[in-house]
Structure 1
Amino acid sequence: MTLSAGEFAAEPLPTTAEEAPTSVAGRSPWQIARARLRANRVAMVAFVAIVVFAVIAVVAPILQAVGVIDATTLHPDLVQGPGAMPTGAFGGISLQHPLGVEPQTGRDLLSRILLGITLDTAIAVAATIVSVGLGVVLGLVAGFYRGAADWSIGRLIDLILAFPQLLMLIALSPVLVQRLTDAGIPSGNPSKVTYIIAVLGFFGWPYFARIIRGQVLSLREREFVEAAEMLGARRSRINFKELLPNLWAPILVYSTLVLPTYISAEAAMSFLGVGIVPPTPTLGNLLQDSVNYATADPTYFLAPGLTLFIVVLAFNQFGDGLRDALDPRSDRAGGR
């Protein structure tokens, strides 16, 4: 049977929202990574803890300035007896001093921990910036230019990694701190803070430079880099406009993983006597002093110790979750 032209009627289009076809919206790599990160409950709890500690680090000096917390005032009336131990149970815990007071001095322990978080975070962030900055620049140069540049940077990395870092930190501390003072940095803790940042940043970049070098060796063979070279783009533009934007994932992950390492390193340096000197509080020198009272006043030992543990654990867990979220081949994201 033959149909006329008029009988060829088009199928009516859907007229309601339910009948309309559902459009599929594409998602950017960042949106996919963010969804994977949100699905990781452990990483999100760690992220909340990091935000809390970041707020404390920013707000604590302000609270000290306006008198809400007081980390410097001595309270001899709150300590007594042999060894000048805190009066009351659990290290002198009270409404005025929620974590008790220090032996010998009677200073408020909570205030000193809050200010210690501020200084430790500032040191770790500054050292991370130094490490990441040097690692990115030298890793880019080694991976992109290869040849003599790659060989020279590789041997420099081997030389730095061959140093016994801990022994060098202790041995060079008096000399380098004095050199910093002679260069115009105020003596005492300011020069020690500068020394710690410089040493941690200097010894930390080789590991990251190797990561960046490997990434750049892979990226420089991609079509977008070859296209930029064929169009006559300068090498500096290729490095910082084409390659660097594709390195943000390892930079972000490395930063979140190395920052708690530097917080722990400051604590270790203070414990060994080359860190920040009291009465300026850090988690490191609080731990160093509290070891002497671990039996007589466990609260004094546990409070800064647990704080340091939680800070480092939060950053490590969030760094692991961020790495899994940014790696599309990982099957662990969201499975925790």
Structure 2
Amino acid sequence: MTLSAGEFAAEPVPTMVDEAQGPVAGRSPWQIARARLRANRVAMIALFMIIFFVVIAIAAPILQALGVIDTTTLHPELVQGPGAMPTGSFGGISIHHPLGVEPQTGRDLFSRILLGITLDTAIAVAATIISVGLGVVLGLVAGFYRGAADWSIGRLIDLILAFPQLLMLIALSPVLVQRITDTGVPQGNPSKITYIIAVLGFFGWPYFARIIRAQVLSLREREFVEAAEMLGARRSRINFKELLPNLWAPILVYSSIVLPTYVSAEAAMSFLGVGIVPPTPTLGNLLQDSVNYATADPTYFLAPGLTLFIVVLAFNLFGDGLRDALDPRSDRAGGK
């Protein structure tokens, strides 16, 4: 039996839509990334730890202003002996001093660690903003304009990466801190904080600029960029309206990875003697001072050391999970 054209056209066409479930709603790339991130148990635990430390960083100065925590009051009655070591077990731990007190001074260690988290976080965030801002702008310029701009920025990156950073930072610290003071920044720790932020931010952007440049070189050949150019869009609009929205993934991942690096860098600079000096507390100078008492008072050494370790670890684990969630080619979603 043969069918005519009209009879064939009248035949019902099978549908692939499941009528019981209805049409399947599409998801944007950000929704997919959020779902992958939520499925990563390690990253979510790290995120909760980061939120906890951020709350501490915000609350510590408020608690100090209200008198709930005290980072400066000396307690000579809580230390004794030739080395003025804390009385009691585990570095003088008590209800009033949950992590004990500092040797020599008797200042509350718990309060000083809380305020140290605040200052370290503020320095790391400020330096990250500088690094990411410079890296995005210069990476966009190098990748989009290419030619002489790309060559110049590339040579500047090579020069900064070849610079003996650590050695020169130590050698130039007194001179540059004094220059910063001459500009009107108060002398002492405020000028040192400005110096640390400027140094970390300036030396951190070249790595990110290379990442952005590589991304822009790929994106500028896409159809939506060519269409914008054909429609006569200005280059500034193409950079900030077409290219920049497609760069949020590397920006977020790089920021989450470089921020804990700056927290560790502040600790290293304090340990080498070019960081913030007491009585202003940071995790770096607390750790530097506690090394002298690592045997006699292990609690004083372990408390800031473990805090620094947990902060850096939480940011690194979350950055790793965020990278996997934003990378569609990743096969490690869900913490596997």
TM-score (norm 1): 0.94
Q: State the match for 2:106 in structure 1.
A: 106
Q: State the match for 1:229 in structure 2.
A: 229
Deviations 1:177-218 (A, max 9, x none): 000001100000000000000000000000000000000000
Give matches, 1:139-150, under 5 Å: 139-150=139-150
CA distance in 2, matches of 1:321, 1:297: 37
Letter in 2 for 1:63: L
Q: State the match for 2:245 in structure 1.
A: 245
CA distance in 1, matches of 2:48, 2:109: 24
Letter in 1 for 2:332: R
Letter in 2 for 1:302: L
Q: State the match for 2:3 in structure 1.
A: none
Shift of 1:169: 1.1
Identity of aligned residues (%): 90
CA distance in 2, matches of 1:192, 1:237: 39
Q: State the match for 2:60 in structure 1.
A: 60
CA distance in 2, matches of 1:43, 1:169: 34
Deviations 1:66-96 (A, max 9, x none): 0111111000000000110000000000000
Residues paired across the two proteins, number: 321
Shift of 1:23: 1.9
Q: State the match for 1:323 in structure 2.
A: 323
CA distance in 2, matches of 1:110, 1:242: 48
Residues 84 and 159 (structure 1), Cα distance of their counterparts in 2 relative to 1, 3 Å cut: same
Letter in 2 for 1:175: V
Give matches, 1:292-307, under 5 Å: 292-307=292-307
Shift of 1:21: 4.6
Unaligned runs of 5+ in 1: 1-10, 12-17
Residues 171 and 255 (structure 1), Cα distance of their counterparts in 2 relative to 1, 3 Å cut: same
Whether 2:190 is the aligned partner of 1:190: answer: yes
Q: State the match for 1:4 in structure 2.
A: none
CA distance in 2, matches of 1:60, 1:36: 33
Letter in 2 for 1:31: Q
Q: Is the 8 A contact 2:42 2:335 kept in 1?
A: no
Give matches, 1:215-226, under 5 Å: 215-226=215-226
Letter in 2 for 1:124: A
CA distance in 1, matches of 2:245, 2:173: 37
Deviations 1:108-145 (A, max 9, x none): 00000000000000000000000000000000000000
CA distance in 2, matches of 1:303, 1:334: 32
Q: State the match for 1:15 in structure 2.
A: none
Match of 2:255, SS state, is helix
Q: State the match for 1:291 in structure 2.
A: 291
CA distance in 2, matches of 1:21, 1:81: 77
Q: State the match for 1:3 in structure 2.
A: none
CA distance in 1, matches of 2:96, 2:115: 17
Q: State the match for 1:257 in structure 2.
A: 257
Shift of 1:335: 3.8
Whether 2:333 is the aligned partner of 1:333: answer: yes
Deviations 1:278-335 (A, max 9, x none): 0000000000000000000000000000000000000000000000000000001114
Residues 84 and 21 (structure 1), Cα distance of their counterparts in 2 relative to 1, 3 Å cut: closer
Letter in 2 for 1:218: S
Q: State the match for 2:8 in structure 1.
A: none
Match of 1:279, SS state, is coil
Letter in 2 for 1:57: A
Letter in 2 for 1:221: E
Q: State the match for 1:78 in structure 2.
A: 78
Q: State the match for 2:279 in structure 1.
A: 279
CA distance in 2, matches of 1:65, 1:90: 28
Match of 1:334, SS state, is helix
CA distance in 2, matches of 1:177, 1:19: 71
CA distance in 1, matches of 2:265, 2:94: 32
Deviations 1:143-163 (A, max 9, x none): 000000000000000000001
TM-score (norm 2): 0.94
Q: State the match for 1:115 in structure 2.
A: 115
Shift of 1:20: 4.3
Q: State the match for 2:26 in structure 1.
A: 26
Deviations 1:32-85 (A, max 9, x none): 000000111000000000000000000000000001111110000000001100
